[in-house]
Structure 1
């Protein structure tokens, strides 16, 4: 069986569903496929931090500026997919005060709202902070519920005419000479012919690139998240030091998520889940939030970051690889037409990534309609019960917000 579409998006995480929504809103006929339920790769296995940009401010100006812009947009369009918690960056007595100062000044330079607050004020909000807290900076971090976000974005794409096909794995890409013209899709879908194919498969982008005969140089890294019982934390906690293992604590309703490590993996489907990562993450998070040392664990999961690392871009170790995103036009880059890859990035910037990709593809297709995704709210954004029903419909089973989804009254 042969289906036809203007654009075939492969990958149903935050970026892939965002591209489908963006293009559909411009009047493009879009089909999205994913090999399993939507959002169960990197997106659904993230720590769910809505970045303010402060984490990157002293080292990555572009990334910091992107995060604060998208942070504000998501708060406007995503409703119950977001929890507005605010965040603290916490310097312990043994941490470098110059690093804290550099981060604070960079936040001000990049228009990230940041305020030094008295330690006792922070301790009133979070009574279980460590005893040796030396300085605290407040920033507009928040929490993303990835399953709801993907469900709302996919449903919005569908409302604008897109076809969304979970559980539709691509087995091969179809080519005509040096052009990708579609994909062979399993589970009784058949062949899908497309004027343009988008590789939005995240950490798996190199594998889909291989099917097209192009080299997408991914360097995925795994990171562990530990969910613990703890009721009452209302603020994201970040350690104010060079990014390292175990420096983020994310609040949920009656749980916290501790994260994370960064270890290179060869295969994003097959990798070790090492006990030392769990132990180190708990130990390091407990340095700023002592209850983490012995709070009961509810679930532990690993996610794989879709880091793009061509040889010339590597800067020394997995944590040195840029968290920025890249839109790769394989016609210009490799002489393979009809194929674009979107790689790198963060969940916070998924909409911006989708806009950049959609702009490039629309230009290729001769579509003049502008992007509207920053200005229109997501489908059912303010209706948690409907969002959770959509999570079930799209077979989204990510562990990042398993304690939240399905609890809407």
Structure 2
């Protein structure tokens, strides 16, 4: 039996962030993940560090969280972030009233914008079509998920945490309203006894909750992405219209990532991957950036959004809030169990701080979070960060063109 103060289940950005936050407070933490860190939703994103503009007029809390965390990560995450800026682009068929509403909402929240004409937009983003009416700038950026997760895990370990990248949770024992032990396979192959258990399993949060007899109503949707060769874009492109498929183009080193679709699913381990979604990404993204329609493909993948929808959500999931939720399962009869659900990559650190605040309160730990001010380990050393990625089996597909590791995935996904 392994003894620890806090067991964190899930080694994506949020789980690694929680492990780091608690370790910095002096708490004994153990982090487990089943398939290597960064192997779930965090890796299977497009790597956008949101400015909040995408949600400004429809989901103000998410927008406010995003711009706050955008600024923090640019300060603490070093070589895991690339500052590119972003454009919201109005094409000839797009509603100008939507453009104005979004920009005004950004200004009201405090997301800085600048309106530019079509010629200036094409100068900043070569390849835009001739029917560009205007655009406005936002402080979007790029993050490399593998590095971000690995540096959080390494920082947690530096402060005493134990990290197990290949250790699937198999069973939980609940007695008298408390989780008394967690059976973990793989490299652990033992039971873990913890004073507190944190569920940061993303799309699998419902399955982990069920092991403790807790119902967590996740709303899961799959999203397709494809990376194609194109090295002339240095700014994130967003289509200034109501959210729909293929309305974002994210630049990486010598490629761009086209995203994304949204299709509800039931099981994060078993869902269809429809090639027609990739064709749609190509065709519709070409309306915003024509050269991508025939550009050579680098790789294609699907990710699962771990949205939380206690009221079952609606439609394809685009109307479900991207805000995060901290579920204290003492309200469900399991007093030493909390789940961090919802949110997105941009707000992982805030999710981790909020969850760690609750855990610290329950444990009687007075130390406050310092993760917003303290630079992550290895922030200015990309070679060290990529060594951490290898060590924690965090190499993934979203940033495969940038993160140099010995254990890189092949260009094709499934």
CA displacement, residues 206-251 of structure 1 (integer Å, 9 cap, x when unaligned)? 0001100010101111001100011121000000111110011010
Structure 1 gap ranges (5+): none
CA distance in 2, matches of 1:135, 1:169: 50
Q: How does 1:119-198 map to 2 (within 5 A)?
A: 119-189=118-188, 190-198=190-198
- The aligned counterpart of 1:402 is 400
TM-score calculated relative to the size of structure 2: 0.96
3-state DSSP class of the match of 1:209? helix
Q: Which moved more, 1:194-203 or 1:389-398?
A: 389-398
Measure, in 2, the Cα distance between the counterparts of 1:279 and 1:381.
Answer: 37
Count of paired positions: 405
Residue by residue over 1:280-326, the C-alpha shift from the partner in whole angstroms, topping out at 9 and shown as x without a partner, is 11111110100111000010000000011112x63544111111100
Quote the Cα distance in structure 1 between the aligned partners of 2:372 and 2:181.
Answer: 29
- Secondary structure, counterpart of 1:306 in structure 2: strand
* CA RMSD across the alignment: 1.2
Matches within 5 A, 1:329-340: 329-332=328-331, 334-340=332-338
How many angstroms does 1:44 deviate by? 0.5
Gaps of 5+ in 2: 407-414
2:8 partner SS = strand
2:320 counterpart residue number: 321
Deviation larger for 121-130 or 73-82: 121-130
SS at match of 1:117: strand
**Structure 2 contact 387–405 (Cα < 8 Å) conserved:** no
Aligned equivalents of 1:307, 1:282: Cα separation in 2: 26
Does structure 2 conserve the Cα–Cα contact (< 8 Å) formed by 1:232 and 1:253?
Answer: no
4+ aligned runs moved over 4 Å, structure 1: none
Alignment partner, residue 239 of structure 1? 239
Q: Which residue of 1 aligns with 2:9?
A: 10
- Return the offset for 1:407: 7.7
Tell me the equivalent position of 2:74.
75
State the shift of 1:120 in Å: 1.2
Distance in 2, Cα, partners of 1:288 & 1:43: 26
3-state SS of 1:183 partner? strand
Residue of structure 2 in register with 1:60 after alignment: 59
1:182 is displaced (CA, Å) by: 3.1
Structure 1, residues 118-166: CA drift from partner, whole Å, max 9, x if none?
A: 2211211222101111120100001010000001110011111111111
Report the Cα distance in structure 1 between the residues aligned to 2:237 and 2:168, rounded to whole angstroms.
38
By how many angstroms is 1:378 displaced? 0.4
Distance 1:232 1:238 in 2: 16
TM-score (norm 1): 0.97
Partner of 1:24: 23
